[in-house]
Chains A and B, each alone.
Chain A
Amino acid sequence: MKNLAVSVSPHIAQKSKTTRSIMLDVIIALTPALVMAVVYFGYHVVINAAVCMGSCFAFELLYTLAIKKDFSRKAVKESSCWDCSCLVTGLILALNLPRVIVVKSWDLNVYGTMPDVGGINRADYVLFGGDTVILCIIASLVAIALVKMLFGGIGKNFANPAATARVFLFLAFSSSFVATNTTGLGSLLSASSGATWLSGDKLTNGENLFLNLLTGNRGAAAVGETCMIALLLGYLYLSIKKIIDFRIPLIIIGSAAVMALLFDGVANGLTGGRLFENMLAHVMSGGLVFGAVFMATDYSTSPNTFWGSALFAFGIALFTMLIRCFGGYPEGMSFAILVMNVTVPLIDKFIVPRPFGYSKPAKAKGGEKA
């Protein structure tokens, strides 16, 4: 007689959705944003993405081998890096960085001919960003080793690895980031009207603003966050595949829009169409949409229930807009995500759904119509 496997029920499982397939789906959803980043920011983005993904993968593999003190082929096979979540971290990280970062004290970059024009950023003429590659590797180390694996690996980390790594780079190399940590509207608006987005009289010219924001034709702090159409495609893909709850990004963006209206528009005395344009610029600029779709929906670092996630989403919108409108930084999505990440255990502790048919112990009489 043949050997039959015995186990307790259930005897079938959904095989189409595994940890790896989910991670690959997220990578697919990020592809439009990556493509548009390459279109607008050039081959640097490809290098950054390759370095980030490669080093995230390598660090996770090395970490798991080192922890087990086993470097055999079998241990490599069993390493958690094959679930591909490290690749997602790497890609999100790369899309969250500027195309080139110049660290003045290192300056390992290869430059092209630089025309003698005052006030133009040296970064515009970098052919190969040696500094950026090193920073990408450092950021990957922080994301994977420090934030993810030290806390127990996939599912156990309390903070978003990519967001933490970006914030780490931003704080540790703040002088190099200074020109780039903006919502990206600075250059766009100064080019069209001479006023900057972040200082002075806010929005002065709404012409083509919407179209440019939609297509991502603008400068940016992070290469992946510019093209709304690409992000929308990713959002639709993840929602249709039911990888993420489609409501969560909507809550973030919706509440951020309302807050932009109140904190910035109304507070600064804008009226009518200008108020609306200002709100639109807030929502569609910076990392808000990218973070809402890809980072706030990260499984490990977001609550497990819908209402918990809704609260979490609202918190992200709130902190982002507080930082943008009242804080010292023009962009606050990463900070907001990290702040809310810390509240997740608390949210999950207190927001627990009541079982189907739950009744308060005092009056357990049935028969009530729902």
Chain B
Amino acid sequence: MNTFPHGIHPPANKERSAQVPVSELPAPNIVRISLSQHLGKEALPVVAAGDYVKAGQKIGEADGLISAAVFSSVSGKVLAVEKRATVNGHANHVCIENDGKYEEITLPPLKDPKPEEIISRIAECGIVGMGGAGFPVAVKLNPREKIDSFIINAAECEPYLTCDYRIMLEYPREFLLGAQYMARSLGLSRFYIGIEDNKSDAVEILENAAKEAKIDVSIILCHTKYPQGAEKQLIYAVTKRKVRVGKLPSSVGVIVDNVHTAFSVYAAVEKGVPSYKRVLTVSGGGVKHPANFWVRTGTDIGEVLNACGGIDENAVKLIVGGPMMGFAQSDENATVTKTTSGILLLTAEEAAGEEASSCINCASCVKACPMRLMPVYIDGCILSGDVAGAEKYGAMNCIECGSCAYVCPAHRPLVQSIRLAKKKIREKGSVK
């Protein structure tokens, strides 16, 4: 079985929402669309209060190379452009009063597009990596190095989340076509799909759809293990190539992108629809009716939760994203963006929350770390103020997957320590 060394086996908890078909969630009366839905610089607003916009109309212009355009998800009047909290920071939001008509603007569909046309369409439609990081896809598909492999990351190794799985089940043709456009833009005629073996039913559906649409794809079954979907780990599992420390995947001739991203590329190329809505999973023990929804960006998290029966009394934690790498929220006022893959309500039994005790030197973290680091040492170094020591033990190579903190029997916040170490190392570097 294809996999990577080390890693952990958290309970997948996907059964709650895995069999729930994707349904459309109506947008609320007011949507608040963040202009920072991607990695890089915040988009610049191109509308002002009082303007009338349609769904699919550009409301934020990409600011520089590493940035992405933002689009209205509804039709209606712009109420304001204001600074608001996002799931993990602050950004300008365009608040639009939804007139309920959902009038749309679309771009003309492309027929047999050339690679440059695909890439410029992706940029025009503001498509970013929808797995969570939100890296602008047009930039990713334009690497300096020669690329020989394009991999679709269908591992979906985060527990609870099922949105990519549902897309593969319900829109296999669209997803595969989108992936093929991405591969084509890299000058490749075929591509890989790396998928965990707990989604073997999706594999069958994809294989049939690929045969029908005559798409040249090789589906690589990977061991179900976290973090199978981490970029470097997936590349190793699929191609057995190791991305060198501090390098990008393109240095070994590989580009990786996510399932939902491929679907969005399909919509952009064949339908001319920009990126303003996505599938997300609502799950966790605190959710009465787990679901997978098509949600328009700018919808309040609270609205999405209400559609699933509201916040249960037992819920102690609200998480946007997956439970291993997502962001905990103190309230439900942040809004859905292009990168919101899930909204989870965890109960006390599910959520981590034990007090940390002394390290017993069991080396569980060492056996778990997919980057083969020694979290216990980095933790020890940074807690005693030894920044250089933390750097020596490779803190900067940490991918922050959280496996170490997950397995720690003493419940030590290891990955959190390493994040601190990375911050301190960067600070030290900038002083130099």
Contact = CB atoms under 8 A, between A and B. Distances in A.
B416 A304 contact: no
Contact of B357 (A7, A19, A299, A352): A19
B143 interface: no
Contacts of A11: 317, 319, 323-324, 326, 328, 344, 346, 351-352
A299 B232 CA distance: 30
A17 B409 CA distance: 5
Contact of B317 (A4, A19, A80, A369): A4
A7 B362 contact: no
B330 A352 contact: no
Interface residues of B, number: 75
Nearest to B9: A14
A131 interface: no
Nearest to A308: B363
B245 interface: yes
Interface in A158-185: none
Contacts of B243: 357, 366
A114 interface: no
A263 to B, nearest CB: 31
Contacts of A22: 360, 362, 409
A159 to B, nearest CB: 13
A155 B365 CA distance: 14
Interface in B119-153: none
Contacts of B384: none
A367 interface: yes
Residue in A10, A14, A304, A370 whose Cβ sees the most chain B Cβ within 10 Å: A10
A199 interface: no
Interface string B210-252: 0000000000000000000000110010001111111100011
Interface in B407-425: 407-411, 415-416, 419
Contacts of B374: 304-305, 352-353
A22 B359 CA distance: 13
Interface string B393-413: 110010010100111111100
A295 to B, nearest CB: 15
B159 interface: yes
Contact of A356 (B372, B407, B408, B419): B372
A155 B245 contact: no
B367 to A, nearest CB: 8
Contact of B405 (A1, A6, A10, A367): A10
Contacts of A357: 232, 242-245, 247, 397
Interface string A280-305: 00000000000000000001100011
B350 interface: yes
A238 B200 CA distance: 33
A154 B317 contact: no
Given A12-B406, A80-B357, A358-B244, 9 more contacts: A4-B329, A7-B352, A11-B344, A11-B352, A13-B352, A19-B357, A85-B360, A154-B360, A305-B363
17 contacts: A4-B329, A6-B328, A10-B323, A11-B319, A13-B406, A18-B410, A154-B358, A299-B360, A353-B373, A356-B233, A356-B236, A356-B245, A356-B370, A357-B242, A366-B244, A369-B240, A370-B236
Interface of B: 4-5, 8, 10, 159, 232-233, 236, 240-247, 251-253, 311, 313, 315-319, 321, 323-332, 344, 346, 350-354, 357-364, 366, 370-374, 376-377, 393-394, 397, 400, 402, 405-411, 415-416, 419
